Structure 1
Amino acid sequence: MNTNPLTPPVAAPAIDAAKGASARDRFHNPFSPLTWLLLGCALALAAGACARWIDLPLAIWIKQSVTEGVNESFEWIGELGESGPYIGVALAFYVIGLVGLARGWSNPVRMSYASMARGSLLMLSTMAVGGLVVLVLKRSVARARPELFFEKGIYGLGESFSRAQLFNSFPSSHTYAAFAVAVVLGILAPRWRWVFLLLAALVAMSRLVNLDHYLSDVMTAAGIAVLVGHVLAPRVLDARYQWPLRAPWKWWQPNAPRV
């Protein structure tokens, strides 16, 4: 009951609406940490099994079966795995989102500047965090690319962190970039998630058809993208966290104003 005569009573529907809006602004992770751990272990086992029994026979079959025309077509598809354009676009949207939010611009599209800033920051952070994981694995595992097997009969691992050319097959960075974009866009636009994932799968297939990677390379890269995107999403998209709406140099200032 409202006992202050100077304060107007708040209608129950208004309170319920506020609670509903708060719930809508919260991001719900689809799996628990334990489930993500089990999925990661399953992926590691599957990748190990592929490396032992499937990768090389599949690459040999592709070498013998794929025509030159099909190979060239998939080279074009593989270009969708270049991370540079995605990072540039996401960075531009992030800057526009922060500036529009700070200056109170009206947005001509059906998206708030806060949502634009959060979504683009999720894309950038997924690219950065997962890209670092992929780079470390490439250098430490030092797996020979299929090209080395077909030219010199080399299948296996080289010297870690030697930066030897063609010993950086595991995992596939093009596949990671494609799936990182697909996962983030699928989180932001769930109705289209399967379209995005299908396009990413085509990029992964192109890396196999063009004999740039083995099956376990692209499987692992896709799994890393799914994991990193969903782990970061609650910390970037959830309205309870305000740091994504501040300029980067104010991220670690808990009481700093937006932008």
Structure 2
Amino acid sequence: MMPDDAPANRSTRPYCCQPTAASRTDLRRLDLDQGVPFSRRGLLIVAALLLAAPVALTADCAIARWCLAGHCPRLIRDLLRVCELFGHGLGLLVIVLAIHQLDPARRWALPRVLASALGAGLMANVVKLLVSRARPSGFDLAAGAWASFGGWLPLAGADSSAQSFPSGHVATAAGFAVALVWLYPAGRKVFPVLVVLVACQRMETSSHFLSDVLVAAAVGLLTGMVVLRAPWPTRWLPDRARIRLAAGSLGSPPARKGGLP
């Protein structure tokens, strides 16, 4: 029998499985049905990068020639080498693991962060399969930038030396930066700088032309915006599963997230 002082309508289910007001709030936080609205500024940046890429063709060979000559100071070169990890899979993994351990309240967002970064790199690789372009390190710069393009639809037939366009590192870094700005708005001035440094590193090592990194940044930014705009997958899970996920992953409520850059 129930104690005399027990409420008559108390459910026999475990308390952790009952959809309390707090748990429903957590569910709404997890269930981002509308995603993040597209940013007009972000779309303008994408358009500006794509418009700047053809203009950059006129400077591609001159910049590549300067980088091949080794004029970059050693200190700057070392800095760029470290920053390259921001656009590399290993660096991405380390940062995501750090967020997972140090900021439990935002663990729920890590799938979006990974999808934004890795999806951007994947999109860059798709473009590589459509357009063949020689890398600066193995190209006769005297022939001009247009001569570096080898043709359309090389698919898997082109080796790495003909996959300069666009930069996978820069696209990954741009997609990663978009997600991190969404998750940590206070870093909106820091993360884009890291993308620029990754782009400089790819040019300094003669792996890519200037136009390659500009298009890659546009691809990464646009991919990240699309990923963040998409509905959150947990909306299709049963309520009980989402309640448990919210209780185990959110902890304390995260700070209010900002929009896209």
Task: Bin the TM-score by the shorter chain.
Answer: 0.5 to 0.7
Question: Does 1:219 find its partner at 2:202?
Answer: no
- For residue 31 of structure 1, the aligned residue among 28, 39, 46 is 39
Residue in structure 1 matched with residue 119 of structure 2 by the alignment: 129
Letter in 1 for 2:149: L
Task: For residues 77-105 of structure 1, give each alpha carbon's deviation from its aligned partner in whole angstroms, at most 9, with x where no partner exists.
Answer: 324321234247648977x9xxxxxxxxx
- 2:9 paired residue number: none
How much does 1:224 deviate? 1.5
Q: Tell me what 2:59 maps to.
A: 54
The aligned residue for residue 5 of structure 1 is: none
Q: Which has the higher contact order (CA 8 A, sep 6+)?
A: 2
Task: Indicate the residue corresponding to 2:148 in structure 1.
Answer: 156
* Aligned 8 A contact 2:114 2:176 in 1: no
TM-score, normalising length: structure 1: 0.65
Structure 1 residue 170: Cα displacement? 0.8
Q: 1:192 aligns with which of 176, 187, 199?
A: 187
Which structure 2 segments of 5+ residues have no match?
A: 1-24, 246-261
What letter matches 1:66 in structure 2? H
**For the residues of structure 1 that align with 2:53 and 2:238, how far apart are their CA atoms?**
41
TM-score by length of 2: 0.65
Alignment of 1:1-259 (within 5 A): 28-31=36-39, 36=43, 40-51=46-57, 53-64=58-69, 66-67=71-72, 69-70=74-75, 72-73=77-78, 74-87=80-93, 90=96, 111-112=104-105, 115-117=106-108, 119-150=109-140, 155-159=147-151, 160-161=154-155, 162-235=157-230, 241=232, 243-244=233-234, 257-258=241-242
Q: Cα 1:40–1:80, aligned 2, differ >3 Å: closer, same or farther?
A: closer
1:81-132 CA-to-partner distances (Å, cap 9, x unmatched) read 21234247648977x9xxxxxxxxxxxx6653xx422x20111211332222
For residues 168-226 of structure 1, what are the alpha-carbon distances to aligned partners after superposition, in whole Å with 9 as ceiling and x for unaligned? 00111111222222221111111111111112211111111121111111111111221
Name the CA shift for 1:64/1:189 in 2 (closer, same or farther; >3 Å): same
Asked if 2 retains the 8 angstrom alpha-carbon contact of 1:56 and 1:214, the reply is yes
What are the ranges of 5 or more consecutive residues in structure 1 without an aligned counterpart?
1-17, 97-108, 246-250
RMSD: 3.6
Q: What is the identity, as a one-letter code, of the residue corresponding to 1:83?
A: G
CA deviation vs aligned residue, 1:216-248 (integer Å, no higher than 9, x gap): 111111112211112221335xxxx4x247xxx
Aligned equivalents of 1:43, 1:56: Cα separation in 2: 19
Whether the aligned pair in 2 keeps the contact of 1:81 and 1:174 (CA below 8 Å) is yes
